[in-house]
Each structure stands twice: as C-alpha cells, then as structure tokens.
Structure 1
C-alpha cells in the first residue's frame, strides 16, 4: 500500500501545480465558450444557416469539455484529499458549474431535436449560462490565491470571464421581464428571435 502511494505521488504533479491546471482549464474553457457564443451570435447576424453541430457550437462544446476536464481533475484532487481551504470550495464551484453546463447542453441538444431552433430564452440556455458563471467564479477564486507572478497576470482574464458570463446571464434573465422591447432590438441579430419554449 505504501509503495503504491509513493508511485502515485511521484507520477502526479504537486497539489500547487494541479490547482493551477484546474484554474487555467476552468478559466480558459469559459473564455472559449464565451468566444464561441459571440461567434455564434455573429453568424446569426449574417443569417448563416443554423445547425446544432455548427463550427460555432463545436467551439462552445470544446470549452465545455475543457471545463469538464477541469472539474474531473478537481474532483480527483478532492477525492484524494490533496487540497484544503478556499481552494476546496472553488473546486466544488467549478464542479457544480460543469455539471450544470453538461446537463443543460444535453437538454439543449434534445430541445433542438424536438423543437428545432430555439431563441435566447429556453429551458436549457439559462442553466447553461449559470454553469458558465459558476465555473468562471471558481476559476477566478483558484487563480486569485496563487502567489506566482505569472499566474497573477492571468487574474484579469479570469475577472473578464466572470464579468462577461454574468452579463450574459443577466441579459438572458432580463428577457423574462422585458422580452418584447429587448427582443425587438436584438431580433435582427438573433434571427430565431427570443422565443420562449
């Protein structure tokens, strides 16, 4: 048993390095999702044909996969009890965000299959956006506790992902109360409109 633990410890990077990897994957995954979402919105502006497996959506899914890899690594760290304190809470937030994104992504796929193209408000989009916010917050919390100067330089990127994902969710939630005036303004961009499923 002792030999097995020594081998595992010699193969795995130290907890500090693993924590940095988790935070980078979470932050960069959310950033990729946001950029893919903007790319998708711009394709709506030029009225490009919409499919669930479009290149824009694949960029978003790759971001989701990156966040999922971050949460799996974080889960393993929690399971092996090699992380403590505030970092433990941050990893739990990333894991929750990742679960929401994966479940909502699957729900979005089912929604597209059953109902076709949906609008900005759907039963799957808002949980996905909440997952984005949670994952970005977890990534920020992990990065902000690092002492290394290189990783301190990435904190503004992390802050950007928190702000952008929060704005995205806030805009979507605002459509519940102001759908007609706001949707009229953005209808030309999102040619599918702001339909509510």
Structure 2
C-alpha cells in the first residue's frame, strides 16, 4: 500500500540515520535501566555516576537528539506529515519528552519523599517514555523498510529491527514488572499492589507479550533466523543486566542460557526446518503452537526477577517475614519451589499464549482487511 516514494533519496537516508540513532538509544536505555534495577536490588553503592546510569542517560540523549531532528523534519516536510512514518517520529518526540521530564521530576521526588520503590510516579513516567520510544523506533524501521531499495541499507535495517524488537520486548516486560514486582514500598508511600493482583498481572501479560512479539517478528521478517536472533538477544540482555551483576546469581547462568533453545525451536518449527514434524496435521496452524510455546517460556525468561512477582500466588512467600534484603535472598525460594512453580507456569503460559495467538490472528486479519479496503 505504501510503497511509492515519498522523499528524495537524500531525505530518505536522513530519516534512516535518525532511526539508526533512535535504535541505539532505545537499546542503551533499556540495558541501562535493567542494570540499574538489578543494582538497586543488590544494594550496590548508589551514586549518579554509575555505568548503568551512563548507559541509561546516554540512551536518553541519543533519543532526545532523534526527537529534535524528527520534530524538525515534521515541521519542514509536508509530505512526510501525510505518511505513516510521521507516527514513528511523533512517538519519538512524546517518548523523549516523557523521559527528559522524568529525570528532574525523580530528583525532586527523592528530595521531598526520600527513597522510593519501583512503582513511583516518576519511575512510571520514565518507563512509559522508554516504551513509547521503543514502539516508535520499531514502527519507523518497519515503515521505512519498504523504501530502502539499496541492498546494504536493507540488511542494516533488518539488523536494526532485530535490536529494536529486543528493546521493545524488554520494555514491555519491564512495564509489567513495575506493577507486578513487590518492591515499591518507599519511605513515605507504599505503591505495592495487592499480592494476588501483582501475580495475576504477571501470569496474564507476560505470556501474552512473549506470544505476540514472537508472532510479530515472524510476520515482519518473513525469513528464517531473525526470530532466533531476537530471542537470543532477549536472553543475552537479561543475562548481562539481571544475572551477571551478582556472583551468586551467575551460578544459574548456564541453565538460563538454555532458555534460548526453545526460542530457536520456534523458528525451526515455523519455517519447516524440522523434518520429523513436517507431516503432522496440526502444523497447518503453526501460529497457535508457536504462540503457546512462546507463552510457556515466560517464567524461565523472567529469572531472576519474576519469582518475586509470583511470590504470593504460586509460592507462600512474604518478603518481609523472610527478611528479604537483596535479590540474592530469592535464590532459596526459587530453588525450593521450582519443581512446582515451573510446570505450573508452563501450563498457564501455554494456555495464555494459545489464546494470545488466536487474538493476534484476528487482529492481524482485521488490520489486513482494513488496509485492503483503503487501497480499493
């Protein structure tokens, strides 16, 4: 529908460079943010000048530059304002504005109310800005891909899309975590939700996110290998930001890295690379099996933070009574409950993932029909 040229070659490459900058900023932002959360949960000495803050605010800086350039392009180019690419630029402007506002707002909040928890108004503002930025980046890369005729730019765009999807996936997971992790009790305000609600949010939305993101990558890339790259990227990012900062948690790293195997299996399954499964009739609806498999992995992918979210639903866990101090304290609970919690989450995640894949298919069909109607 949108394959006709809408910009000169020079302007098109300028927009592409803008999206490259935004993609790098988006991944730096979420890497720094995740690392910073882990540092807080490990009670590591906190100053402003930390490696995690450097990555976080470096990402915000790059995204802010992208947003300024995007605003300049929107103001000066009438054609691009009519094109769907403009939605991407608007998302970058809004997301960057939210992220920038959250910085001084968080400083003022700390000055007035002292140490806060994960779910505070300023943290929610920052994470919302990060999510909006990652959505805008992926939208822009998808949109501009149809205009990049040069093979070099097309390959680079696909690699950037892999990075963009990794950032988007982790941002969505983090957005669920901010409501579902029971670590929002500050000096003045306790923003923790009721324990049952926290657990239910994790059990519903994390499998849904996994399922929909995997199905979306399949629809966008339409080529074997890219879904595996996105899945492996999620595992590596989590390993570096949530596991490696702790020596005790690092003991689980070899087992955690194995969670990439089922994600690669999904890619092999979807593109018929598994000879022993090709003739099975249910593979006519591969998306359902893909969605169920992706959804079932949410607990494994969520290590080491997710056991906190399920502590009052699938485990008899009370952080206060157990003397919870740092993230390392969750290890005994995780190990002792794994034989029950892991199969339970596999079943729950598979069911939610299956439902998500059906809903995704309906929404995809609706959007496709709307586009065809507009073309006519």
Q: TM-score, normalised by structure 1?
A: 0.79
Largest Rg, 1 or 2: 2
Shift in Å, 1:177: 3.0
Map of 2:166 onto structure 1: 160
Q: Deviations over 1:76-129 (max 9, x none)?
A: 000111624111111001111111111112211212233333211111011111
Q: Output the CA distance in 1 between the equivalents of 2:328 and 2:67.
A: 32
Map of 2:39 onto structure 1: 43
Map of 2:178 onto structure 1: 172
Map of 1:30 onto structure 2: 26
Q: Secondary structure at the match of 2:141?
A: helix
Q: Secondary structure at the match of 1:28?
A: helix
Map of 1:103 onto structure 2: 101
Unaligned 5+ segments in structure 1 are 1-12, 192-197
Q: Deviations over 1:36-63 (max 9, x none)?
A: 1232233335432123443322321111
Tell me, yes or no, if structure 1 residue 19 matches structure 2 residue 15.
Answer: yes
Higher relative contact order (CA 8 A, sep 6+): 1
2:131–2:171 CA contact under 8 A, matched in 1: yes
Q: Secondary structure at the match of 1:177?
A: coil
1:25–1:66 CA contact under 8 A, matched in 2: yes
Unaligned 5+ segments in structure 2 are 1-8, 149-153, 182-191, 199-307, 312-318, 330-376
Q: Aligned pair in 2 of structure 1 residues 64, 122: CA closer, same or farther (>3 Å)?
A: same
Shifted more, 37-46 versus 152-161: the winner is 37-46
Structure 2 counterpart of 1:112, from 110, 113, 117:
110
Q: Output the CA distance in 1 between the equivalents of 2:42 and 2:88.
A: 39
Q: Aligned pair in 2 of structure 1 residues 37, 190: CA closer, same or farther (>3 Å)?
A: farther
Q: How many residues align?
A: 179
Shift in Å, 1:150: 1.9
Shift in Å, 1:142: 1.0
Q: Aligned pair in 2 of structure 1 residues 47, 173: CA closer, same or farther (>3 Å)?
A: closer
Shifted more, 130-139 versus 32-41: the winner is 32-41
Q: TM-score, normalised by structure 2?
A: 0.44
